[in-house]
A = this chain, B = another copy of it.
Amino acid sequence: MALIVQKYGGTSVGSIERIKNVAQRVARFKAQGHQVVVVVSAMTGETNRLIALANEIQSHPDPREMDVLVATGEQVTIALLSMALMEMGLKAKSYTGAQVRILTDTAHTKARILSIDEENLRRDLNAGHVVVVAGFQGVDEKGNITTLGRGGSDTTGVALAAALKADECQIYTDVDGVYTTDPRIVPEARKLKTITFEEMLEMASLGSKVLQIRSVEFAGKYKVKLRVLSSFEEEGEGTLITFEEDAMEQPIISGIAFNRDEAKITVLGVPDRPGIAYAILGPVADANIDVDMIIQNVGADGTTTDFTFTVHRNDFTRAMGILKIVQGTIGAREIKGDDKATKVSLVGVGMRSHSGIASNMFKTLAAEGINIQMISTSEIKISVVIDEKYLELAVRVLHKAFNLDQAA
């Protein structure tokens, strides 16, 4: 008998029929003798419907009231799923975030979990109940309803698994696991049986949006065994996210992530002195623009330098505008922009102990005539920025070059 936390996203509970399907899956686990905690999101479209109502009233809706509003989405789902479980003859009980007492800070619309009171849940589980918890929401110390931000239901699932010391946290989505790369680009892409937390973090932040990154960090921190599965398939093991030490025979490279939405901005000929990076990126950060890659080269003349960074394409025009304004202050010779950049990344913990990965990557791209515009590396990742027209080609040739189509 194990204690399992299962999280179902909005599409998995997007209709009455699908809610009944979830109930059936839960019933199968109960029948195997497991204790089950289910975390659910709002039904697909519901959160957007509520946000649209708010936007009809306020162009910038009050964050506290926004949380009161959207928290109703998951509350509807927990009630309906509990009913569906009871209709199947199971004992079930729903909990809002406040009822569990998922205590968060007061950062409305993007709150962070501080603690979870698991006592009542455990009592219900021991009494044979399926416990159904509203994802995405909590309550602050003063009793205000808070939400964790988009995708926060994953975090709720992992946090509950940590608090209850669950044997496994299963995240059900509309994909059946984590792939070596996007199968729409490389038909040979292979589903990974396991992936390490660190790789998962790199994959997620690079655009393989299977799991919310915060939930992966959380799982890593509390050593929660995390598994990604499809809610639309009866069987399947999904992908287990492991700690590195568990992985005896980790392949060198686990996957290839990419991001189409990059835009590149280069500040040419700035004085090479302390504080210049802050002088450039400070105003960008103040405008709430997220910066992804940052590279600084030594300038050719030894007194000036070139500074390049990437932002989301949606922020490109705004970021260029800001830099045009500060160009005089920082004494830059020129500002150049390119909103057709894409990023391709090799990810794998194995590359730590294997040399030659980077050179193999560069050789493979060169053989296809693909020019590399930027390079950035971490312990378990090598990212390059290339022209977007080469994206699919680059992913395909790298997938083949690193034998990702062959089972590890």
Which A residues contact B (CB, under 8 angstroms)? 16, 19-20, 50, 53-54, 56-58, 61-62, 64-66, 68-69, 71-72, 75-76, 78-80, 82-84, 86-87, 93-94, 96, 98-99, 143-145
Contacts and interface: CB of A to CB of B under 8 A. Distances in A.
B96 A68 contact: yes
Contacts of A71: 75
A18 to B, nearest CB: 12
A53 B15 CA distance: 10
At the interface, is chain A mostly helix, strand, loop or mixed? helix
A79 B58 contact: no
A64 B145 CA distance: 21
Given A16-B56, A143-B99, A79 B83 contact: no
A72 B49 CA distance: 14
Contacts of A50: 76
Given A98-B98, A99-B143, A143-B99, A57 B72 contact: no
Contact of A54 (B56, B75, B80, B143): B80
A61 B75 contact: no
A19 B345 CA distance: 50
A96 B68 CA distance: 9
B76 A53 contact: yes
A61 B83 contact: yes
B53 A65 contact: no
Contacts of A143: 99
A61 to B, nearest CB: 6
A219 B96 CA distance: 33
Contact of A76 (B72, B80, B99, B144): B72
A57 B96 contact: no
Contacts of A19: 57
A97 to B, nearest CB: 12
Given A53-B80, A54-B79, 5 more contacts: A16-B56, A62-B83, A66-B79, A68-B96, A69-B76
Nearest to A16: B56
A16 B53 contact: yes
Contacts of A65: 79-80, 82-83, 86, 94
Given A53-B16, A98-B98, A99-B143, A69 B79 contact: yes
A94 B62 CA distance: 11
A99 B99 CA distance: 11
30 contacts: A16-B56, A50-B76, A53-B76, A53-B80, A54-B79, A54-B80, A54-B83, A57-B84, A58-B84, A58-B86, A58-B87, A61-B83, A62-B83, A62-B86, A64-B93, A64-B94, A65-B82, A65-B86, A66-B79, A68-B75, A68-B78, A68-B82, A68-B96, A69-B76, A71-B75, A72-B76, A96-B145, A98-B98, A99-B143, A99-B145
Contacts of A57: 16, 19-20, 80, 83-84, 87
Contacts of A61: 83
Contacts of A84: 57-58
Contacts of A96: 68, 145
